Structure 1
Amino acid sequence: MAFVKDSDVQFITQKDVMFIINFKVSQLHKTTGFDPDQCLNLLLKFGFNKKVILKTCNEQFLTALQSKTEQDEPEECYVCCLDNQIIRLDCGHSACRNCWKSYLIRKIEDGNCLIECMDPKCKLLIGKSVIDEFMDDVASYESLIINSFVKANNTITKCPDSNCLLFAKTNTAEPQTVTCTCGRIFCSSCSQDPHFPATCRQQQLWSKKCELLTPKIDDDSQQWLLEHTKECPRCLMTVEKQGGCTLMTCSNKKCRLKFCWLCRSDIATHGIYYCNSSQLKAEKARLDSRADLANFITHYNRFEHYQNSYKNIPPMISDAIESSEPLLQKAAYSYFNARKMLTNSVVFGFFLCNGEYSDKFKDFLHSLEISTDQLESSLLNYLPSQGSKRVRFELFEHHQDIEKCQKELLEFCAKGQEFEDLNGQSYRDAWKKAHAARVNNDSFSQFFSNWLFASVLILALLVFLPDFHIWLPDFSVAYGKTLGIDLRDDTSQSYLRTVFLSLVSSFVVGFFDLIG
């Protein structure tokens, strides 16, 4: 994703988008000679992919697209059983105007832009001109056509603001951060808030994990979704299985991946035999789950910390965005970008393989965090004392530092696709290795602790025996005699046993505190 200039983005209206659609219809009409209604239905059916249309279409296929109307004499409608003027389609199925209108309105409200004949066994697609005849307001149906076109187009995106009706048209299909004329900033690919350096897919996966951590829907709905739906392994669109075999096709027109419902693997690599997903070992799944949870909690806590810092920016810095002084305005804007970049970088780092690249990324992130804190301090010092040259120089210097850190981080993250690990397998392996080392170390510590405890216990029992004497070297005995003390008599030995037990007890307590 890139930060683009206003000149790289063009904002267009629904009327402009409809003009582009009509232009594509006229192009297909000139190329194939098909009826405009047929061309529009073909574009809607095949995701506005002209090459696929030319490769797939034949005369037999086109018969399912013809939908002209004929008006018959008034007779009884087989739907409402009232005597009205009957309107018949090319397929021969008929109904009165009111029934056709009610049927079309219901289909449009359900979000269908490809509407079939009213008869359940008929697959005839009704053309736009026929729909326009029955509808009083065609805006709702045109909105469905526009939404279908935008979903299949990589360079046009609807502004996510519900009160804005503009579309952003970029010069490239590469995800970009754009600012709408209404003030909303969003990603041109997924229409979500800017998330660079994290990719759209990383942001989708992260959002899914956050939803599982703190579900935002009721328990019954969550349980139903877990039991009846799964996500497409490529685009993560939720898919519901209502029957049939285990071969599924993603309903996203940009994806259309064929995958196995049981193991969610690509059918191209799955083969025709039964999948062996049920043969996975329970211990491996348990360790993978624990590793994923540990990794997620670590990054989620850091993500929440950065997000709170971004949301709770001091009001003085927020007001500086509107300042008339260029340096102050630029510094405040860079500070906002840095706080947002720190938050998104956690998501990017979560999906990196463990290794040298991940370690370097953490160094870049640490440098950006330090520079951001320094710039925040400079901004807070500069605002009350704008006349100080020293504070002004510090603000300028820290602004240059944070711009440099952001640029270096962006350049470094641009190479991160080859080090991406969306499944978290590298972290699982590292976690399992560390877990095994901890288990081995704990086993050795436990064995040594038990051995030491047994030895001390035996020694302590021996000390309390009446005939037990603590062995002392000859020089200590001779030194004791010079002081007038016999270290080998019963009184001295009793005193020495007490001191010895006190020292052993202190050692044992300290040792268990150290290893525990």
Structure 2
Amino acid sequence: MDQDFDAGFSGEEYDTDEDCASEDDGIEVAQADAADAESSPSSDCQVLAPEQLSTELNKIAAETSAIVGLSPQLCRIALHHLRWSKEILLEKYYENESPQQFFKKFDRDFPLDLNYVVQALPPRSGTCLICYDQKMLTGLSCGHLYCLACWHSYLSTRFHEYPDPFVLCPEPKCKQVVGDEIAMKLLTNEADKRFYQRVLINSFVECNKLLKWCPAPNCDKVIKVSHPECRAVTCDCECTFCFKCSNEWHEPIDCELLSKWIKKCSDDSETSNWLNANTKDCPKCHVTIEKDGGCNHMTYCPKCHVTIEKDGGCNHMTCRSQTCRFEFCWTCLGPWQPHGSGWYACNRFDDKAAKDARSQQENSRAALQRYLHYYNRFANHQNSLKFENRLMEQIKIKVDQMQAQSFSWIETQFLIKSVQVLNKCRRTLMYTYAFAFYLQPNNITSIFEDNQRDLELATEQLSEVLEREINPESDDLVVLKQKVQDKCHYVDTRRQVLLKHCQEGLERNQWIFRTAG
């Protein structure tokens, strides 16, 4: 373990700039393919616990100490200021005539004793220099004494406000460093001690290009890779994210364009986005319809105008009015029948309005409508993902019902995997609309839109089967399994085709991206 971990921790991995960078029964389901980048981490990707990182940084400090003759504590202080690079520390250290000159560059006091360890003075009674109460006091070798409550308050506040693990004595103008070992003794509650350990380890992680914290809430694991790049990595908590930008995995769009897209979607200048995303005009009378709570699940039937509630991820809507029963697409409000035919075009943006624009106002309106075309579809798939998280819970209930009917656990797992495939396809579709927003139209983009259309249609078909057609009490398991697996295999194939085409376009420089917008 240690040998694998140590490999790759050389000085070249650290930022040297002034600013630190920030089980299976053979069910043939395509989504279980380990070749998917986001479904299984690469062999060179490790998930590390904080304890492993703490051991590693202490090891680096001990190795440095053995070379320069400074105490490991002083070496940790110096390594922190030099991005935890042992090689850079050795280079800088031997450029100076004395250890005092070396530490002076960090604006820190350096003791004459090379083996010095920052320690607290023995407690004694006196007046605290912060609260001015008569208490038992302690301090560092600088002689500035404070009560334990003030020490804890000072250190806790500093570590929460300024994530520097090596702070100075509270006395103004005093350059004495509070070492990590004494800081752990002066902090009086376990929560603050754990937070401080995180601050210390974070100074090591943030300055190493091969390490990245898992962004999942309440997860304290770190991912280590052999090459820092835009790639999907998966933590033990099952969170899959982009190693480069720490956002959820966003293929096919790259990190830079995704950053621009996120900013654009959250920009105050796009206030009209909310109005367009959360309201729709009746296709007949054009009265504005607001969806319930802005959660993208209310509209009116385009034929009879009865209120429709969207309560799942599938976009195939059917009016519940017994006199209507009109089937339509939630996204475009058009009849659903064309969405299963060869001229399905719900995913395409008609650029005619933009071509016919004659004035600046018309151009601005066309630009806004173009943006909203892609934003609404991005947001629609995003909301469908939320519904399909609930779908997973419903599928688990159906799995339990099937197991209660004497089916084995293995025999029912195809349903769980099918929802996982559906989630992947939704997420991919979501980001294809952000990707498409920045694309300049050319002959290749029409192929992309065809692939996007095929994936979207296949995704909706799978979603409809999982939401509406599974009845554990009446379904023939063999028939159901074959049907679901066939659709899973097809939809995942379409997803891979789309992503492969996007990647090939990047490698061949066939994509031309808009710089504005």
TM-score, reference length from structure 2: 0.56
Distance in 1 of aligned mates of 2:90 and 2:175: 21
Distance 1:129 1:391, change over 3 A: closer
Partner residue in 1 for 2:331: none
Aligned length: 357
Contact 1:86 1:96 in 2 (8 A): yes
Q: 1:95 aligns with which of 131, 145, 151?
A: 145
> Partner residue of 1:61?
102
Residue in 1 that maps onto 2:447: 360
CA deviation after TM superposition for structure 1 residue 369, in Å: 1.0
Partner of 1:408: 497
- 1:105 CA drift (Å): 3.1
Q: Distance in 1 between matches of 2:412 and 2:84?
A: 49
Query: What residue in structure 1 maps to residue 267 of structure 2?
Result: 212
Counterpart residue identity of residue 503, structure 2: A
Mapped partners of 1:145, 1:152: distance in 2? 12
Quote how far apart the aligned CAs of 1:352 are: 3.6
Deviation at 1:81, TM superposition (A): 5.5
In the alignment, what sits opposite 1:375? 462
Q: Which residue of 1 aligns with 2:253?
A: 198
Residue deviations 1:458-505, cap 9 Å, x none? xxxxxxxxxxxxxxxxxxxxxxxxxxxxxxxxxxxxxxxxxxxxxxxx
Distance 2:363 2:155 in 1: 50
How far apart, CA to CA, are the structure 2 residues paired with 1:409 and 1:45?
46
After TM superposition, give the deviation of residue 185 of structure 1 in Å: 4.4
Contact 1:2 1:175 in 2 (8 A): no
Q: 1:119 to 1:314 in 2, by over 3 A?
A: closer
Shift of 1:143: 1.7
Offset of residue 303 of structure 1? 0.8
Question: What are the superposed Cα offsets for residues 234-257 of structure 1, whole Å, 9 maximum, x if unpaired?
Answer: xxxxxxxxxxxxxxxxxxxxxxxx
Cα distance change of structure 1 residues 315 and 14 upon mapping to structure 2, 3 Å threshold: closer
Q: 1:130 is matched with which residue?
A: 182
Equivalent residues of 1:197, 1:348 under 8 A apart: yes
Query: AA paired with 2:252?
Result: P
Give the secondary-structure state (helix, strand or coil) at the position aligned to 1:96. Answer: strand
Equivalent residue, structure 2, for 1:105:
156
Among 387, 403, 411, the residue aligned to 2:476: 387
Contact 2:120–2:182 at 8 Å: present in 1 too? no
Deviation at 1:394, TM superposition (A): 5.0
1:337 maps to which of 403, 424, 430: 424
Structure 2 residue 346 is the aligned partner of structure 1 residue 305: no
- Looking at structure 2, the residues matched to 50 and 344 of structure 1 have their Cα atoms a distance apart, in angstroms, of 41
1:11 touches 1:168 (CA, 8 Å); kept in 2?
yes
Contact 1:115 1:125 in 2 (8 A): yes
Which residues in structure 2 correspond to 1:46-57 (within 5 Å)? Answer: 46-57=82-93
Measure how far apart 1:405 and its partner are. 1.4
Change over 3 Å in CA distance of 1:314–1:186 after alignment to 2: closer
Instruction: Give the 3-state SS of the residue equivalent to 1:312 in structure 2.
Output: helix
- Pair 1:351–1:124, CA change in 2 (3 A): farther
Report 1:461-476 matches (<5 A): none
In the alignment, is the contact (CA less than 8 A) between 1:41 and 1:65 conserved in 2? Answer: no
Residues 378 and 391 of structure 1 are in contact (CA less than 8 Å); yes or no, is this contact kept in structure 2? no
- Counterpart in 2 of 1:2? 37
- Find the residue that maps to 1:210 and give its secondary structure: helix
- State, as a whole percentage, how many aligned pairs show the same letter: 24
- Asked whether the equivalents of residues 108 and 141 of structure 1 are also in contact (C-alpha less than 8 Å), the reply is yes
Q: 1:146 to 1:354 in 2, by over 3 A?
A: farther
1:143 and 2:232 are equivalent in the alignment: no
Contact 2:426 / 2:459 at 8 angstroms: preserved in 1?
A: yes
| Structure-1 residue corresponding to 2:59 | 23
Largest Rg, 1 or 2: 1
Alpha-carbon separation, structure 1, partners of 2:157 and 2:77 = 19
SS of 1:325's partner is helix
Query: CA separation of 1:102/1:351 partners in 2, compared to 1, >3 Å: closer, same or farther?
Result: same
Structure 2 CA distance for aligned equivalents of residues 163 and 206 of structure 1: 27
Change (3 A) 1:29 1:299: farther
Match of 1:232 in 2: none
Q: Matches of 1:179 and 1:198 in 2, distance apart?
A: 19
| Partners of 1:150 and 1:158 within 8 A in 2 | yes
Cα 1:335/1:75, change in 2 over 3 Å: closer
SS at match of 1:3: coil
For residues 197 and 188 of structure 1, the distance between their equivalents in structure 2, rounded to whole angstroms, comes to 15
User: Match of 2:501, as an amino acid?
Assistant: F
The SS at the match of 1:152 is coil
The change in CA–CA distance for 1:81 and 1:359 in structure 2 (over 3 A counts) is same
Cα shift at 1:342: 0.7
Give, in whole Å, the separation in 2 of the partners of 1:318 and 1:39: 52
Task: Indicate the SS of the match to 1:34.
Answer: coil
Give yes or no for contact 1:77–1:96 (8 Å, CA) kept in 2.
yes
Contact between 2:168 and 2:174, CA under 8 Å: does it hold in 1? yes
Report the CA distance shift for 1:144/1:317 in structure 2 as closer, same or farther (over 3 A).
closer
Distance of aligned partners of 1:162 and 1:171 in 2 relative to their CA distance in 1, 3 Å threshold: same
User: Is the alpha carbon distance of 1:366 and 1:43 closer, same or farther for their aligned partners in structure 2, counting shifts above 3 Å?
Assistant: farther
Does the CA-based 8 Å contact 1:179-1:185 persist in structure 2? yes
**What SS does the corresponding residue of 2:145 show, helix, strand or coil?**
strand
State the shift of 1:295 in Å.
4.6
Give the letter aligned to residue 109 of structure 1: H
Q: CA deviation at 1:110?
A: 2.0
Matched with 2:340 is: none
Aligned to 1:348: 435
Q: Deviations over 1:431-453 (max 9, x none)?
A: xxxxxxxxxxxxxxxxxxxxxxx
Q: Which residue number corresponds to residue 398 of structure 1?
A: 487
User: Distance between the aligned counterparts of 2:370 and 2:63, measured in 1?
Assistant: 52
**Are the counterparts in 1 of residues 264 and 270 from structure 2 also a CA contact under 8 Å?**
no
TM-score normalised by structure 1 residue count = 0.56
The CA RMSD measured in Å over matched residues stands at 4.2
Q: What's 2:80 paired with?
A: 44
CA positional deviation for 1:199:
3.2
3-state DSSP of counterpart to 1:414:
helix
Distance 1:77 1:2, change over 3 A: same
- Structure 1 62/215 Cα, relative in aligned 2: closer, same or farther at 3 Å? farther
Give the number of the structure with larger relative contact order, counting CA–CA contacts within 8 Å between residues 6 or more apart.
2
- Per the alignment, in what secondary structure is the counterpart of residue 267 of structure 2? helix
Q: 1:181 to 1:75 in 2, by over 3 A?
A: closer
Q: 1:210 to 1:55 in 2, by over 3 A?
A: farther
1:407 Cα deviation from its structure 2 partner: 1.5
Deviations 1:185-242 (A, max 9, x none): 44444444333333344333322222225999xxxxxxxxxxxxxxxxxxxxxxxxxx
Whose helix proportion is higher, 1 or 2?
1
Counterparts in 2 of 1:366 and 1:18: CA distance versus 1, 3 Å: same
Unmatched 5+ residue regions in structure 2?
Answer: 1-35, 112-117, 272-359, 400-410
Of 371, 377, 380, the match for 1:296: 371
